[in-house]
Amino acid sequence: MLKKRLDKTSYNQPIKPKGGTSVKIGRIVKVSGPLVTAEGMEDANIQDICRVGHLGLIGEIIEMRKDIASIQVYEETSGIGPGEPVETTGEALSVELAPGIVSQMFDGIQRPLNKFKEVSQSDFLVRGTNVDALDREKEWEFIPTLAVGQEVEAGDIIGYVQETKVVQHKIMVPYGVKGKLTKVEAGNFKIEDTVYQIETESGVRDFNLIQRWPVRRGRPYKVKKNTEVPMLTGQRVIDTFFPVTKGGAAAVPGPFGAGKTVVQHQIAKWADVDIVVYVGCGERGNEMTDVLNEFPELIDPTTGESIMERTILIANTSNMPVAAREASIYTGITIAEYFRDMGYNVAIMADSTSRWAEALREMSGRLEEMPGDEGYPAYLGSRIAEYYERAGRVETLGSDGREGTITAIGAVSPPGGDTSEPVTQNTLRVAKVFWGLDATLAQKRHFPSMNWLTSYSLYDPEVGKYMDENVHANWSEYVQHAMNTLQEEASLEEIVRLVGLESLSERDRLTMMTAKMLREDFLQQNAFDDVDTFTSREKQYRMLELILTFEKEARRAMKLGSYYAEIIDGTEDVRDRIARSKYIPESEIARFDEIREQIKTDIEKTIQHGGMTHA
């Protein structure tokens, strides 16, 4: 069945099967957990997909020595043993890309989880079961955008299918194909039906709606570009202080209970991207079950539809062996690249890359490779880098010069929260943003618990420029000032701890007050409040402006002789209004002007009043 499937789609297969399509047979010599060694495999190649044992388990060759192949098997290997056959398909581990992919939940090697359960009639995956990644029977309405007679090249968009309410699935000429469009028709098609024909140098070829792509290879593009536009998340601490660009990469460590899940949900819900790919490589099955249950219930606020209308889930259920976890992030990023190639902005979240790295470590151990840092293989760093390098902003293939982006957000779960361990360190080398979730802040109920002192974004300059031009000319200046204030607070706190609050100057006490307002009124954001859950850029600016206006006016008053205590007394009401400004709906943003005016009048009153007492 597998072979038949390959033959059917082989014309869209960009990589020539290495061993031809004929099936070669070797014999198992050893089974060690997910690693199977087979002899007589001289015709196979590294990265070939194999069918292992009488059960036909799916595996991938990860090492070849003469005729001996080491195969990582994506299914539980118990019960198979030496002497059983191993067939190589000659094909690399690939994903199927066609309408029907959005809203799906797949396992690490793109087997649809729902279908799998149907076929196997139980919650447990039956080994060796063959299911198609995508529905073969469903019909899609294809609308052509090019006409017969036009010259086309790889990446050109022939037409589209409205895949979900919010996603238009562009049908692109596969990689390596060039020629004249000789047939294209509107109509309802199944994904295996011929939809268009191209006359290439080697003759007329039929094309259906499916492309296949080997997951370990990045899909090609024309040029990679600098990222400049921030991805809006509506989360103030991210957008204002630690932004990630569309096409950028961010790492988020998530100690248990620090609010990692909420951050991810918020991004999946609010990020201004077209497609979200969520890769769950969890150790604990129930974590993954949570995602599978919760995501379909989340509503995309801009469309009012379930976020699944633009989401693809890749999940490693607890009963899937470690090797499938290793493959899952590649399956995810390949799907992300496919949608990027359509000209979309895609966000991919991997949770957690530490679990993925552990899978790598386990396979490396079984291969008896020389271990590096903490037992991870020496190539851990390059594997992590290769993954994040597939994020970015690119000009895609195709003659229309369109652009697409992939923003990669990788959760890491360092054991004991120790970020000096290899996975975190290697991730930080390639991801330019670090959102340091902090268990202590979470305990204090400061959410999102991103530590403003340890987090950083190296996209600050680009994003600052963008925000200055698109939101307000003062943006970067305000952000810089606010961050300095928060840092100053940290050093002042040291002094307070040593010699007490009384020792602080009036000026420093105002700094402490401003920092407190920044923390409580700006950084703290309740994901579960209807209004506070999302803040537009404009409102983020307005909120920041209120706090900084308060500070500026208060400093002016001090210069004119007012005492800190007087200012605090005289501004109680307006400070309360500043604190509640997060609950002002986006539609009533004009209310910020009133509050700003009140800051000025109240402080002016304090100055007048102070002037009188001092006189």
79 marked ligand binding residue: no
The verdict on whether omega for the bond into residue 352 sits within 30 degrees of 0, i.e. cis, is yes
Residue 416 in contact with ligand ADP, rule: CB under 6 A: no
The sign of the torsion formed by the CA atoms of 94, 97, 102, 103 equals: negative
Of 68 and 527, CB closest to ligand ADP: 527
259 marked ligand binding residue: yes
Residue 471 CA, chain-centre distance (Å), reads 25
One of 66, 122, 201, 528 touching ligand ADP (CB under 6 A): 528
DSSP string, 62-76: EEEETTEEEEEESS-
One of 471, 527, 531, 589 touching ligand ADP (CB under 6 A): 527
Cβ 463 to ligand ADP, closest distance in Å? 21
Dihedral pair phi/psi, residue 269, rounded to 5° = -80, -45
Cβ 361 to ligand ADP, closest distance in Å? 23
448 marked ligand binding residue: no
Q: Provide the token pair at 21.
A: 């399509």
365 marked ligand binding residue: no
Q: Which residues contact 500 (CB under 8 A, 6 or more apart)?
A: none
Closest CA to 437 of 245, 587, 582, 254: 254
Of 231 and 450, CB closest to ligand ADP: 450
Of 34 and 255, CB closest to ligand ADP: 255
b/e per residue 475-508 (b: at least 16 CB within 10 A): bbebbebbbebbeebeebeeebeeeeeeebeeeb
Residue 476 in contact with ligand ADP, rule: CB under 6 A: no
Residue 530 in contact with ligand ADP, rule: CB under 6 A: no
Neighbours of 569 (CB within 10 A): 11
Among 46-54, 147-155, 389-397, 521-529, which window interacts with ligand ADP (CB under 6 A)? Answer: 521-529
CA pair distance 210, 207, nearest whole angstrom: 8
Of 77 and 235, CB closest to ligand ADP: 235
Cβ 266 to ligand ADP, closest distance in Å? 7
Residue 52 CA, chain-centre distance (Å), reads 33
Cβ 526 to ligand ADP, closest distance in Å? 5
Of 256 and 498, CB closest to ligand ADP: 256
User: Of how many residues is the chain composed?
Assistant: 615
408 marked ligand binding residue: no
Closest CA to 140 of 182, 101, 181: 101
Among 140-148, 499-507, 523-531, 555-563, which window interacts with ligand ADP (CB under 6 A)? Answer: 523-531
407 marked ligand binding residue: no
Looking only at residues 224 through 263 of this chain, which bind ligand ADP when binding is defined by CB under 6 A? 254, 256-262
Q: How many residues bind ligand ADP (CB under 6 A)?
A: 14
Cβ 317 to ligand ADP, closest distance in Å? 18
Of 129 and 526, CB closest to ligand ADP: 526
Residue 182 in contact with ligand ADP, rule: CB under 6 A: no
Of 243 and 259, CB closest to ligand ADP: 259
Residue 121 in contact with ligand ADP, rule: CB under 6 A: no
The one-letter amino acid code at 125 reads L
Of 13 and 525, CB closest to ligand ADP: 525
Three-state secondary-structure class, residue 183: strand
Q: Is 206 left (phi over 0), alpha (psi -120 to 50) or beta?
A: beta
159 marked ligand binding residue: no
Of 258 and 336, CB closest to ligand ADP: 258
- Give me the residues paired with residue 170 across strands: 160
What radius of gyration do the chain's Cα atoms show? 28
Looking only at residues 447 through 466 of this chain, which bind ligand ADP when binding is defined by CB under 6 A? 447-448
Cβ 137 to ligand ADP, closest distance in Å? 38
Task: For 269-316, give the secondary structure using H, E and C.
Answer: HHCCCCEEEEEECCCCHHHHHHHHHHHHHCECCCCCCEHHHHEEEEEC
Cβ 333 to ligand ADP, closest distance in Å? 23
565 marked ligand binding residue: no
**Given the rule CB under 6 A, which residues bind ligand ADP?**
254, 256-262, 447-448, 525-528
- Residue ranges for the known binding site are 254-261
- Residue ranges for the known binding site for ATP are 254-261
